[in-house]
Structure 1
Amino acid sequence: MTSPTIGRLRVDGATLRYEVRGSGPLLLLIPGGAGDAASFDGVADELAVDHTVASYDPRGLSRSPLDDPQARQWVAQHADDAFRLLELLSPDTPAYVVGCSSGAIVALDLLTTHPERIARVVAHEPPVVEVLPDATEHRALLARVQDTFHRDGLMPAVAEFAAGLRRPGAEDPVEAGAATELPPQAAARAERTMANMPYFLGRIVPSFMAYAPDVDRLKALSERLVLAGGADSRGELPYRPAAFLAERFGTELVHFPGGHTGLSTHPAEFGELLRKVLSA
């Protein structure tokens, strides 16, 4: 893997660590969940053939510390961070943006607030559950997860959250996979991800999954928006908002290899399709 150039950007209340590789139009990659810039390691080199690829650790995660470690988190603030990176790395030219999971929520907000800075957004399974007809049920799930987190601790809450995202009867991908010894770089990434989990579950999940996007605004901008889902995650909760919005906008829902975490489980195929989507 090509070694990226590392930079740091001061934003309101945090310092962002970002990585840049390649040349061409800017492509900003926004990680989701408890992941960081390394979430895109498996695809970044391939994407850098056509683009200047920038990925980063969102505020409060891994190597992007908050000034106030207890600060509340908001989608709009995270989207403004992404905008600041666009202004720094591509001040004169609209950029391409790819977001996965909670990173896709940030990408949607960025598109609605700064459309003039965006050439195209690919949003892979943004869990904007507030757009769904059964949003009340998912609010109840999130409330239960937070209760479990504060009462019983991290891992029981993670298990309850993961169960609520899956289709009924679906296999737990963590329990299904055999334990393997990771190479040092992957082990370091896994260690950072686990260290990020309390922050993600306690402060990202409640505010991000309560976020209601401006659906009318997104529809007006839908020619610049590619909604995507995992080929193996049909019917699961993170998949459903993308499918719902694509149907409402009359646009294609692009299916990427794997499930919600296809970026990690099928990186070569994921990256190949992503290049095609960005160049279409």
Structure 2
Amino acid sequence: MPNLEVEGATLPYDLFGTGPLLLLIPGAQGCGEVFRPIARPLSTTYTVICWDRRGYSRSRLHGAQQFDRRLERDADDAQLLIQHVAKTAGRSPEAVVFGTSSGAIVAQNLLVWHPECVTLALLHEPPSFTLLPDVHREQGAGLLNHIYGIYRAQGPMAAMEAFTGGLSKGADAEAMKQAMDHSRGDEIRANSLFWFEFELRQYPLSEVDLGALVKEGAKIVPLAGIKSGDGPGVGPTIVIAAAVQKDVARLPGGHVGYVTDAEGFASGLLRILQRN
């Protein structure tokens, strides 16, 4: 398995298929393994890059870290990974980028800070609460702070119950709880603790440069799950879609449709990519 050495970290990644580069950016789990079920069908058309974000799973941290700038470092890491894989493959240093949940927030910032390396940015339900009207923004911040308080007082599993109860239901909720169930192993436990401590509040409450996104609007494809409806979790996606004057494209499943309906999700994503 190849690794990319960057400042302060070693980032492992997997490659599937041949063709134009397609970088998949995971959300809360932080590990590329979650995309393996959709990477195979996508690899019939693309060179699919799955990676473990800094601090998660097989990645390794070296020396002092700037945990208050994790979002910026994630975007920089994504840029460096695109450049590295492109150079190795003899391609131009650019890629189609798909990000989901907090991974979509990373994709947004990658597009703003490093637009030259992004040919298309597919943003699947980024929980960018700062894009919402003040009252909903405050409600979102209050919910995240409440969940963080439960995490510190009662542990990650109790906090995950509160998180899924506030943001998701049904198959989505069960898949998300299983993904963070630390009784399944030390790696999942470490990922869960890392996410609660350093990402739960920082990424959704980070400021979004909507004007900069609009400038790159031709590259943006706003995405949401069919089962997600137009609820609060899709609110930021609707705001972005309106700003760049595009419709929200729908994919099978809900917030984690790539887990609950991987085959349908991959097929839907390929169709959207073909249209764009």
- 2:104 partner letter: A
Task: From the superposition, tell whether residues 231 and 93 of structure 1 become closer, same or farther in structure 2 (CA, over 3 Å).
Answer: same
Percent sequence identity over aligned pairs: 32
What stretches of structure 2 of length at least 5 have no aligned partner? none
Q: Which residue of 2 aligns with 1:125?
A: 125
Shift of 1:216: 0.7
Task: From the superposition, tell whether residues 176 and 110 of structure 1 become closer, same or farther in structure 2 (CA, over 3 Å).
Answer: closer
Task: From the superposition, tell whether residues 89 and 175 of structure 1 become closer, same or farther in structure 2 (CA, over 3 Å).
Answer: closer
| 1:145-195 Cα distance to aligned partner (Å, 9 max, x none) | 1221112221121122222213xxx55755699x9xxxxxxx99x644344
Shift of 1:93: 4.0
Structure 2 residue 27 is matched with structure 1 residue 25: no
Q: Which residue of 2 aligns with 1:147?
A: 149
Structure 2 residue 208 is matched with structure 1 residue 206: no
| 1:34-90 Cα distance to aligned partner (Å, 9 max, x none) | 141111111111111111111101011100122259751521110000001011012
Contact map agreement 1:30 1:55 (CA 8 A) in 2: yes
| 1:189-227 Cα distance to aligned partner (Å, 9 max, x none) | x64434411111111112111112210111111110101
SS at match of 2:40: helix
Q: Which residue of 2 aligns with 1:183?
A: none
Structure 2 residue 79 is matched with structure 1 residue 83: yes
Shift of 1:136: 1.0
Task: From the superposition, tell whether residues 230 and 173 of structure 1 become closer, same or farther in structure 2 (CA, over 3 Å).
Answer: closer
Q: Name the structure with the higher helix share.
A: 2
SS at match of 1:229: strand
Q: Which residue of 2 aligns with 1:227?
A: 222
Contact map agreement 2:171 2:260 (CA 8 A) in 1: no
| 1:84-122 Cα distance to aligned partner (Å, 9 max, x none) | 101101242421111111111111100111111111011
Contact map agreement 2:148 2:200 (CA 8 A) in 1: no
Q: Which residue of 1 aligns with 2:240?
A: 245
SS at match of 1:238: helix
Task: From the superposition, tell whether residues 258 and 171 of structure 1 become closer, same or farther in structure 2 (CA, over 3 Å).
Answer: closer
Q: TM-score, normalised by structure 2?
A: 0.88
Q: CA–CA distance in 2 between the matches of 1:113 and 1:176?
A: 32
What stretches of structure 1 of length at least 5 have no aligned partner? 1-5, 180-186
| Count of aligned residue pairs for this structure pair | 263
